[in-house]
Amino acid sequence: MVDLDNISNYRQFDKLGMLDHLHAFPEQCQKAWEKVQRFELPHLHTRISNVVILGMGGSAIGGDFVRRLAMTEANASAWVHRDYGLPAFVDENTLVIASSYSGNTEETLSAFTKSLGTRSKKLAITSGGKLKELAQKEGIPVFIIDYQAPPRAAFPHSFVPLVGIFQKLGLLGDKSADMQEAVDVLKRLSGELIEANPLTSNPAKQLASKLHGRVAVIYGAEMLSEVARRWKGEFNENSKTWAFFESFPELNHNTVVGYEFPPEAKERILVLMLRSSSLHPRNQLRYDVTSTLLAKAGIAHEFVEARGKNTLAQMLSLVLLGDYASFYLSMLNEVDPTSTDAINLVKQFLAQSPISSD
């Protein structure tokens, strides 16, 4: 098995530098926040009653995060659309935000093209591609991502700008202080997670070691359910391993009944329960009773605590921990964390049957 404390081993598998993006995470959050403060929205964009964020994969998860933040503050509703076409409720009171790092995501382009036939307000977040060309041709504002990375590693640039945009829309309060605390927390946490910190005191290496040879099942409540989704995707893409996520309190109404069969699965599953002190007290109790049920069923599990005082800091601290853990697991699995050959195969297959204009 790969020795996670022997950093020279990493060069064999991390040939495209995923680790460099993890190192840059706190700084990129700061830069994305500073950039969105300089971004100007058309005045009419503030006259909305709902927001629809179009995206897939690493470009959509930021929408999930900001939607969760807005649920507790905004009078308008937010929806993340991961599909072709467009929700029927989109109208002149809707702001459609197309988020595609590459600018070439076919589902997002399909939905965005559909939105051009509506009276909705529109905005694009991308590094280029067809989305940038189409938006600029139509005179639609574009927030340009100028950080080169795989879409999932550009997460600060797909999430943090949305926080700033929602703040400008009046859907979130001033998050400047929260963002500063989040960046400070991330910088401190990075010192614990970097490859130079040994396994004995590195939470991410420890998680990866426990997950090696197991299936990760990630539980989260409230805003941490979105982080659980992020962890699932990172383990899939970086570590090339099976992973699943579930949300409290819903999982207490079905999942907990399914811990019995097949008994062989219990030996291969590790349940990670993402938790923070800011969760609803009743959800806190649900973590405890679920832990009891998992122990009774003989299923390995553990709590993973968020860092920081505010919601932004707690979400981002767990994102960074999950990203590092998935990287270290890719080393243990002896795979390239950057490559996504299966996704590329799907895209090549679909390219043989071009999408229709509708």
With a cut of 60, say whether residue 4 has pLDDT above it: yes
Position 346 in a domain: no
Q: 294 and 165: one domain? A: no
When pLDDT is averaged across residues 285-307 and rounded to a whole number, the result is: 98
157 has catalytic annotation = no
CATH code where residue 106 lies: 3.40.50.10490
Q: What is the distance between the alpha carbons of residues 83 and 219, in angstroms, rounded to a whole number?
A: 25
Per the structure, the count of domains in the chain is: 2
Of the candidates 222, 226, 234, 237, the residue annotated as catalytic is 237
Q: 145 and 286: one domain? A: no
Q: 28 and 145: one domain? A: yes
Q: 221 and 323: one domain? A: yes
Position 182 in a domain: no
User: pLDDT band for position 356 (50/70/90)?
Assistant: low
Q: 138 and 39: one domain? A: yes
Q: 313 and 212: one domain? A: yes
Round the CA-based radius of gyration of the chain to a whole number and report it: 20
With a cut of 80, say whether residue 357 has pLDDT above it: no
**Tens-digit pLDDT profile for residues 28-80:** 999 999 999 999 988 777 789 999 999 999 999 999 999 999 998 988 899 99
Of the candidates 253, 260, 264, 296, the residue annotated as catalytic is 253
User: What percent of the chain has pLDDT above 70?
Assistant: 99
Domain that holds residue 41: 18-174
With a cut of 70, say whether residue 160 has pLDDT above it: yes
Position 109 in a domain: yes
Cβ contact 1:128 at 8 Å = no
H helix count then E strand count, the chain: 12, 9
Would you call 296 helix, strand, or coil by DSSP? helix
Of the candidates 267, 280, 302, 347, the residue annotated as catalytic is 347
Residue type at position 321: L
User: What percent of the chain has pLDDT above 90?
Assistant: 94
Rounded to the nearest integer, the mean pLDDT of the chain is 96
Residue type at position 338: T
CA torsion sign for 8, 12, 13, 16 is: positive
Position 354 in a domain: no
**Tens-digit pLDDT profile for residues 97-116:** 999 999 999 999 999 999 99
334 has catalytic annotation = no
Q: What is the distance between the alpha carbons of residues 320 and 22, in angstroms, rounded to a whole number?
A: 8
pLDDT of residue 45: 74
User: pTM above 0.85?
Assistant: yes
Q: 56 and 142: one domain? A: yes
40 has catalytic annotation = no
The per-residue DSSP string of 93-119 comes to TEEEEEEESSS--HHHHHHHHHHTTSS
With a cut of 70, say whether residue 295 has pLDDT above it: yes
